[in-house]
Amino acid sequence: MPTIQFDAEVTASFTMHDADGSLVASSELDGPMVFVVGKGSVLPAIEEAVLGHYAGDRLEFEVPPERAFGLHRPELVFESPRANLPSGMAVKPGAQLFSGMGDRPKFSLRVVKETENGVLLDGNHPLAGRTLRISLHVTNVRRLAAMESMLDQSICLKRGDPTP
């Protein structure tokens, strides 16, 4: 049975709650978590937690904001005049605005609320400032073949995506 080490592909069912107990994400909602250790497609704290474990292991751990999505930064919350917003866009609380083009925007802004002159925007990650409680059940560990390990994988594995 392979031990989880760098360059191992890990599949895990999981739940992620914040410190208040609110469900943030889970494999039931989002599909299993599939990642290659060391490739940076999941939080480093998750990669560190699974090292040395095996398929079948269950882990529970807490990740503070500094090791998750950062502290909430008040300077990233600001008002934008309507004239600076994309024309014709329905501006409702919770809507996302993305910079750049294509599949990899440079940053996103979340609409917090409408104001008299425009909207209040928040550039923080939605989970910034929140401690996360993670429960993982490692369901599969696969050692990558030598050629797979040597390839520079430019595509991050997403939950549930097959190995490229």
38-76 burial code (b ≥16 CB/10 A, e <16) = eeebbbebbbebbeebebeeeeeeebebeebbeeeeeee
Q: Report the candidate in 96, 106, 104 with the shortest Cα–Cα distance to residue 156.
A: 104
Domain ranges in the chain?
8-69+128-150, 74-122
Q: What is the pLDDT of residue 127?
A: 96
Question: How high is the pLDDT of residue 101?
Answer: 67
What pLDDT, in 10s, does the model give residues 59-84?
999 999 999 999 999 999 999 998 88
pLDDT for res 82: 87
Residues of the chain with pLDDT under 50: 147, 150, 152-164
Please report the pLDDT score of residue 148 as a whole number: 55
C-alpha of 85 from chain center = 26
Give the per-residue pLDDT at 39: 93
What pLDDT does 18 receive? 97
Class of 8-69+128-150 per CATH? alpha beta
Cα(151)–Cα(162) distance, rounded to whole angstroms? 16
